[in-house]
Structure 1
Amino acid sequence: MLKLVRPVLAGVAYLAAFGAAAHGPTPQKVVETVEIAAPIDRVWQAVADFGGIAVWNPALKASEGNGNQPGAKRVLTFANGEKLEEDLDTYDPATHEYDYRMSRANTAALPASSYSVVFRLIPKDQGTQVEWKSRLYRGDTGNEPPPNLTDEAAVEAMRHFFQAGLNNLKARLEKAN
């Protein structure tokens, strides 16, 4: 009996090791925040238009959308001319939050195959904390992605996009004080 068990266990161990090496991508997370010395209603006024993100995010050349109700769509045009489409899932002015997701991947615009995002404002002391977080998957979901479509590339691109927008939003709103 022992002679039969050893080969079976060895085979199971081999398959487990092979499966672990070939599991594909895992979800990545990006969370960026900034504190803005402005009241939450003023910050919300600046970011409330789902389609108007290009007004305050310099990583974009343009943006256009068709409203702020769940199901609305927007198209982002990046500085390199590439476009990315997103769908609005929830929109709540009372809690100063909206959630959206990529509707069609374009890895030339952003090296991710899919993502979902939560954008929210939180009252903080005399100002507002803006939190932008995403769960995303790399641009190439195969086991050996090229360097420009790895987990790291996707995280870095999303982080840069979030930081550019948050830093500019802070500068614009605090300058107006």
Structure 2
Amino acid sequence: MAKAFASRIIRAPIEAVWEVVRDFNGLPRWNPAIVESHIEDGLPPDLVGCIRSVTLDSGAVGRERLLVLDDNQYRVSYNFETPPLPVFNYVGTLELKALTEVDHTLAIWRSTFDEAPEDAGRFGPILSEQVFASGLASLDAQLAGARTPENTVRWQGHAPANVYSIVELKLPLEKAWASVRTLASSSDWLTSDSGASATGARQRRVGDVSRISLEGEPLQEQLIAFSDLDHSLGFVLRYDTAPGVYRANIELFSISSSETTLAVCTVHWRCPKDDEAERGVKKHHDLVLRALNRIGQQ
């Protein structure tokens, strides 16, 4: 398997860099190797699964599918549906990491792919230097000196898992993921038997917010990560009547020996060590178990 890689310190805060990078249709605005891009079928560029058609400066045309858009980990992944180069099984990822001592950002762009035997070793340097490295250099030149947006609050890392639930779903991974994937577009998993109801349909767009009610308590739910590559979803929950932010993640793993799926759900939040906190742990743990078991029954 061949690889391409480039990394660079961008002299701008991670929020400013991510605002540019997360636009799946925005490559021509900052990468000189890409001269044209459009999202097919009129879909929005933050819809996981959308396809962009790109034209390279060489004139080659390709089609790329958005696999991952993660506002929490500052990561975007994509594959080649129609390669602009003669490579196969291509998957690329552009990821950002904030530097702590200075308000700069490390950008890492990497990909893996296969080449025909006669092309072995040919396209790694081309992608690394002419697409990745030149693109990151241009991005740095455009954003150097940008300021951190006002009222920015960066997540300082997860507290220990307040809820950690694992359920074996009697479904193969593909069917289990098809069920879990609907979490981003409907509230069917939060049924009346779990004490939750929805007042607005959720969309499969990272960043979208919906209003729901859990056991009579109103809250906002925001989709912050969606990965067809890792089979995972991430949400942020904010209660109207209680402080703090809840971060939930669901990830699926294939069990090859039994053709079933392991569903792992974690919910993190910061709360005092008291009886009310313990009751909150139990409430969310029970909700997660009921939701995961219901998915397995579909």
Shorter-chain TM band = 0.7 to 0.9
Q: Deviations over 1:18-48 (max 9, x none)?
A: xxxxxxxxx1112211001211000011211
Judging by fraction of residues, say which structure has more helix.
1
For structure 2, the 5+ residue unaligned runs are 148-298
> Does the 8 A contact of 2:16 with 2:146 survive in 1?
no
Shift of 1:175: 5.9
Contact 2:3 2:110 in 1 (8 A): yes
- The TM-score, its normalising length taken from structure 1, stands at 0.73
Give the RMSD, CA atoms, in angstroms: 1.6
The aligned residue for residue 135 of structure 1 is 112
2:31 aligned with 1:71, yes or no? Answer: no
Deviation at 1:81, TM superposition (A): 2.1
> TM-score normalised to the size of structure 2?
0.45
Contact 1:76 1:85 in 2 (8 A): yes
Identical columns (%): 27
How far has the Cα of 1:176 moved from its partner? 5.4
Aligned with 2:72: secondary structure? coil
CA distance in 2: counterparts of 1:37 and 1:128, whole angstroms: 7
What aligned pairs does 1:5-84 form with structure 2 within 5 A after superposition? Answer: 27-65=1-39, 66=43, 67-84=45-62
Which of 157, 166, 174 matches 2:126?
157
Contact 1:61–1:79, Cα closer than 8 Å, also in 2: yes
Aligned to 2:88: 113
Q: State the AA in 1 paired with 2:95.
A: R
Amino acid at match of 1:129: L
Kindly indicate whether structure 1 or structure 2 has the higher relative contact order, using CA contacts under 8 Å at least 6 residues apart.
Answer: 1
- Alpha carbons of structure 1 residues 158 and 111: separation in structure 2 relative to 1, 3 Å: farther
Q: In 2, distance between residues paired with 1:154 and 1:118?
A: 17
For 1:170, give the aligned amino acid: D
Partner residue, 1:6: none
* Alignment match, 1:7: none
Q: Matched residues in 1 for 2:99 and 2:5: separation?
A: 17
Unaligned 5+ residue runs, structure 1?
1-26
Contact 1:105 1:114 survives alignment (8 Å):
no
